[in-house]
Chain A
Amino acid sequence: MSSSEAYVSFQGVQKSYDGETLVVKDLNLDTQRGEFLTMLGPSGSGKTTCLMMLAGFETVTHGEIILDGTSINNVPPHKRNIGMVFQNYALFPHMTVNENLAFPLQVRKMSKSDIEDRVKKVLDMVQLGSFGSRRPMQLSGGQQQRVAVARSLVFEPKLVLMDEPLGALDKQLREQMQYEIKHIHENLEVTVVYVTHDQSEALTMSNRIAVFDDGVIQQLAEPDLLYEAPENAFVAQFIGENNTLYGKVIGLDGDICTVEAENGDKLKALGVNIQGVGFDTMISLRPERVEVNPESGQCSSTVTGKVEELIYLGDHIRSRMNVCGHDDFIVKIPNSANHAQLSPGDTVQVGWKAEDARALDVLVS
């Protein structure tokens, strides 16, 4: 993945609003043509700022943004030909849906009949064929959102940016729209840079996800890798549910390290991001990878846990246990025919494979 074949490329980009703090710190990010790339991160991590720099509404303090091989640092936003969906949709309230959609075509001086054709086509694409003469105010949130997507696509840009476009919708509608946007992306083969702080949205829609924190990309990877192989403690904790066990590395054998937990238990884990023997580490372990009362030889680490709480969730049972001195250790027990029958207060054995426990850096603060 060299930068020469990248479609959009951030190269050493930094951004500061006030000249005192860097909101974006040394951002390097390549997007392939036709990719659906999501920027995911907590509030204030600089996602919108990156998007705005790409769209041209914020200046780049340092570094360069390359679009299709040429630097766009000095290209004014209206000449970048980038479609954009805003968080509050930014539909023009004084224009009808048709006029909103025709706007980018009119400024491109297209002929009336061409405009009509395109507007109709794009309206049909978002299934709003009969709403053309309404004002945005007369549409529901979901419909407005579709118009906003349609408007960002109607002038056939190669790149579309979306800043939390589904943030204002309820859960059900959001899921439906996720599917529709994904569909449009596949059909039109546009490149999409998408911003969200909803991780399930990121996981379902994206080809790759860039996890942001504090102005730095923590990890850039495909959704499954991000979930199954987080490279640092922030990503492990931010994506999905996660058990953390703190300890000190006391031995290292190839990839597998031995960690002494705070209460003295010895655990085996995959050394992903450790500094070496004698240093502190944090083990990340997904709740569904923990076995209760494993058969001997199945797991490389086994410790005792005390059941604190059980929550019945239908397809599985969540069990909160006290493991290695921490009482927030979650185990997901599938509701299979012969699953372990537990009750609060029981003492059980829990175990896992060394590859599922990832020894990572320790988060400060």
Chain B
Amino acid sequence: MEISQEKSVLVTADGTPLKISLARAQRRSKIVAFSMVLPLLIFILIAFLIPIADMLSLSVDNSITKEILPKSVIALQNWDETSGELPDEVVFAAMVEEIKKAKIARKHTRVGQRLNYESSGFSSLFRKAGRKVKIIKKPPYKEALIKSDKRWGQIYTWQVIKQFSTEYTDGYYLAALDFKRNPTTGKVESLPGKESIYLKLFWRTMLLSSLITFLTFIIGFPLAYMLATVSTRLSNILIIFVLLPFWTSLLVRTTSWIALLQQEGVINDFLVLVGIINNDGRLAMIHNATGTVVAMTHILLPFMILPLFSVMKTIPKSYVRAAVSLGAHPWKAFWKVYFPNTGPGIGAGSILVFIIAIGYYITPALVGGSSGTFISNRIAYHISSSLNWGLGSALGVILLGIVLALFMLYDRIVGIDNMKLG
């Protein structure tokens, strides 16, 4: 028993346990290694992880109501919104006081804006209240406030304020998926078809991205095959042509498609010239889904070709030769032996193109018109124009979720280790 005890802990010559002295010996090199990756780590933290975390928190953040109307929100807790009666004087008094305060800090419109996402009209209600509250000097505040705008006398108004005064909200996500919380009942309802835009947009983004992925595959596969089979010298030259687009500005590439595809553009002119279409029947190929698909297929093509090429180059010529020597027609040999071995390249290329496409912004914005824009264009709109950052963030998080889900699905079916990115 004692012997086996002693044997179980290996020691070095000076008696320290082997594990400890090994850890000691490796500590230095570990520190060095860590300090070398530290700048990158910090960079990733600042440029990648923090923004994502920020986006996540923005998409559920609802502190604005509580921050600007703290007393009113607390006072509203005692009010039974289903009673059919208005809140009592205490609530009104707090509201008047807080709108006055917010007016000075120029913040009263922000509450209005936030609540306006849930129910239109609140923006103007709070803006107006900001102007009117300064004449309300003494109680009863209830009558005075209702006098300034009769909407303060509606139960619905107070239901909305109470409903959406929680610290966190799922409102942005509901909106991003074309749902809405009914302020009166608190139930989630789907928006009528006419108003639902985001689901349609998500769906279109996925569909067009799939189409683009498929097209890059159809065009890229023969090209990659050629690159992999010609002599190294020639393939090196041809690779430059594949990479050339990377050295041209994205904007230039996209706008040159406008020159080609527009109604008075090169292609339409040519078709009219040879008489395939007449002058009145010029095709609309840009500022719609067609434009987006054509331009993005072109732009994303290298992302399909390069992984395919790098996989194809590792497939020995002898595979197909062996299949042929075994009696298979060259086509059959290609299909049964060569093609299956390009699987990792197809997987990598497809997932790369699809993921890039799904979040693409600039090209759909330039050539997509109204039927060819993507969800990312909508996100950009909310971030830079409507300033509804919460909704923009929620849309972004959903997009991120879709990408991760697809990635996991891919891992399940194909296996991530089977992917070769070059």
From B325, B327, B337, B343, contact of A92 by CB (8 A): B337
Determine whether the beta carbon of B323 is less than 8 Å from that of A92: yes
Determine whether the beta carbon of A103 is less than 8 Å from that of B326: yes
Interface string of B333-350 (1 = CB under 8 A from A): 100110011010000000
Chain B interface SS verdict (over half): helix
Determine whether the beta carbon of B325 is less than 8 Å from that of A107: no
Residues of B within 8 A of A79 (CB): 327
CA distance A352 to B281 in the complex (A): 100
Determine whether the beta carbon of B321 is less than 8 Å from that of A86: yes
Determine whether the beta carbon of A88 is less than 8 Å from that of B316: yes
Residues of B within 8 A of A86 (CB): 318, 321-322
Given A88-B316, A90-B316, A94-B341: A103 and B328 within 8 A (CB)? yes
Determine whether the beta carbon of B340 is less than 8 Å from that of A155: no
Closest CB-CB distance, A197 to chain B, in whole Å? Answer: 18
Residues of B within 8 A of A171 (CB): none
Closest CB-CB distance, B147 to chain A, in whole Å? Answer: 81
From A87, A91, A104, contact of B327 by CB (8 A): A104
Considering residues B330, B332, B336, which has the most beta carbons from chain A within 10 angstroms of its beta carbon? B336
Given A92-B337, A94-B340, A94-B341: A78 and B328 within 8 A (CB)? yes
CA distance A217 to B110 in the complex (A): 94
Interface string of A189-214 (1 = CB under 8 A from B): 00000000000000000000000000
Residues of A within 8 A of B341 (CB): 92-94
Closest CB-CB distance, B125 to chain A, in whole Å? Answer: 67
CA distance A207 to B7 in the complex (A): 61
Total interface residues on B, using CB and 8 Å? 20
CA distance A55 to B106 in the complex (A): 87
Residues of A within 8 A of B343 (CB): 94
CA distance A87 to B325 in the complex (A): 14
Closest CB-CB distance, B2 to chain A, in whole Å? Answer: 44
Determine whether the beta carbon of A88 is less than 8 Å from that of B329: no
CA distance A78 to B329 in the complex (A): 6
Residues of A within 8 A of B322 (CB): 84, 86, 90-92, 151
CA distance A210 to B323 in the complex (A): 28
* Closest A residue, CB atoms, query B318: A90
Considering residues B318, B332, B333, which has the most beta carbons from chain A within 10 angstroms of its beta carbon? B318
Determine if A82 is an interface residue (Cβ-Cβ < 8 Å).
yes
* Closest B residue, CB atoms, query A108: B327
Residues of B within 8 A of A57 (CB): 321, 324-325
CA distance A108 to B326 in the complex (A): 9
Determine if A81 is an interface residue (Cβ-Cβ < 8 Å).
yes
Determine if B168 is an interface residue (Cβ-Cβ < 8 Å).
no
Determine whether the beta carbon of B325 is less than 8 Å from that of A77: yes
Determine if A83 is an interface residue (Cβ-Cβ < 8 Å).
yes
Closest CB-CB distance, B20 to chain A, in whole Å? Answer: 40
Interface residues of A in 34-84 (CB under 8 A from B): 55, 57, 76-84
Residues of B within 8 A of A103 (CB): 323, 326, 328, 336
Considering residues B322, B326, B328, which has the most beta carbons from chain A within 10 angstroms of its beta carbon? B326
Determine if B241 is an interface residue (Cβ-Cβ < 8 Å).
no
Residues of B within 8 A of A80 (CB): 325
Considering residues B322, B329, B330, B341, which has the most beta carbons from chain A within 10 angstroms of its beta carbon? B322
From B327, B336, B340, contact of A78 by CB (8 A): B327
Determine if B319 is an interface residue (Cβ-Cβ < 8 Å).
yes
Closest CB-CB distance, A118 to chain B, in whole Å? Answer: 13
CA distance A91 to B315 in the complex (A): 12
Interface residues of B in 293-322 (CB under 8 A from A): 316, 318-319, 321-322
Residues of A within 8 A of B328 (CB): 78, 103-104, 107
Interface residues of B in 88-104 (CB under 8 A from A): none
Residues of A within 8 A of B330 (CB): 76, 78
A to B CB contacts below 8 Å, 19 in the list: A77-B325, A78-B324, A78-B330, A80-B325, A84-B322, A84-B325, A86-B322, A90-B319, A90-B321, A90-B322, A92-B322, A92-B341, A93-B341, A94-B341, A104-B328, A107-B328, A107-B332, A151-B322, A155-B326
Q: Which 10 A-B pairs have the closest CB atoms?
A: A104-B326, A90-B322, A90-B318, A84-B325, A94-B340, A107-B328, A86-B318, A78-B324, A107-B327, A77-B324
Give the interface of B toward A (CB within 8 A).
316, 318-319, 321-330, 332-333, 336-337, 340-341, 343
